[in-house]
Amino acid sequence: MTRTSSPVVVLDLSGERTPIRTLLGDLVRHRDLLRLLAMQDFRSRYRSASLGLMWSVLLPVLQGVVIAIVFSRLIGGGQAQNYLPYVIIGMTVWSFLQAAVVSGSSSIVDNGQIAGRIYFPRLTLPAVPPSAGLPGLLVSLAVAEVVTLATGHGVHLQILLLPAVIALAWGLATTVAAVATIAHVYSRDVRYLAQAGMLVLFYATPVIYRLHAGNGVRALPSSLRAFVVANPFTGVIELARYSLLGTADLLGETLLATGAWMLVLGTVALFAYARLERVACDRL
């Protein structure tokens, strides 16, 4: 008598593809949902904190001051008067990007209790952390401008580019988080990869050094410059410095790299959500 093995039952989750035009239309129709979720996220962050929003300002400023003192005084990184605003501007933008990307990279899983109950475009969720962080970014940039003026730098016409800085930072953080969070549905390792990746990218972003030497701030070795210019976060930070300090290194090249990354990641996100968003929540 021969035994026959029982068939293996495999659950295959699949769904219809959402046309990209429909996906974009749903995003526009549900734009009020993004505002409501961002307000809820913002309140939950500072609900029990005495200083509230000021923590989003104090932390990058404190870290920038410590870095400026260490590098300018102890290891000769640059003159403190020029180095302090340079680092604080970089830390302000970097802190926003890091928090938005790390939080957004797991946004679908973190909001699984609502994502699996009602329909709305799941592409809204990775935009929530960057949107909730915008008030803190606005206040932090204002403080960075005060530090810039206090260290002897004047007001430049380029300060009118601050809305472009904020929009570019929001767009980049959203596109990176959108790709990461849909991947996180299929592998929970993505959350930790995002944290590790942002830790590494901090040193590959010109937060504490310049692409070219000048104003008492040391420059990155030329052999590594191409890699830092290609970093998608470099263009945002250089644009912020151009807006507040009136000067930046390789602004055109870094902005071109940032724009290219946003185009590629945005395209990948649209096709991924059009193909996977109908079944993503079933895998939670």
Q: What is the pLDDT of residue 75?
A: 45
Question: What secondary structure letter does DSSP report for 283?
Answer: G
Structure-block tokens of residue 147:
């530090």
Is the pLDDT reported for residue 1 higher than 60? no
Structure-block tokens of residue 143:
């403080």
CB-based contact 83:216 (threshold 8 Å) = yes
pTM: 0.84
pLDDT tens digits for range 139-193: 888 888 888 888 877 788 889 999 999 999 999 999 999 999 999 888 888 989 9
What is the rounded distance in angstroms from the CA atom of residue 256 to the CA atom of residue 59? Answer: 30
Radius of gyration of the chain (CA): 22
Number of C-beta neighbours around residue 53 at 10 A: 16
Is the pLDDT reported for residue 67 higher than 80? no
Q: What is the pLDDT of residue 216?
A: 54
Mean pLDDT value across residues 68-78: 58
What is the rounded distance in angstroms from the CA atom of residue 262 to the CA atom of residue 168? Answer: 9
- Distance, first Cα to last Cα, the chain: 43
Return mean pLDDT, the chain: 81
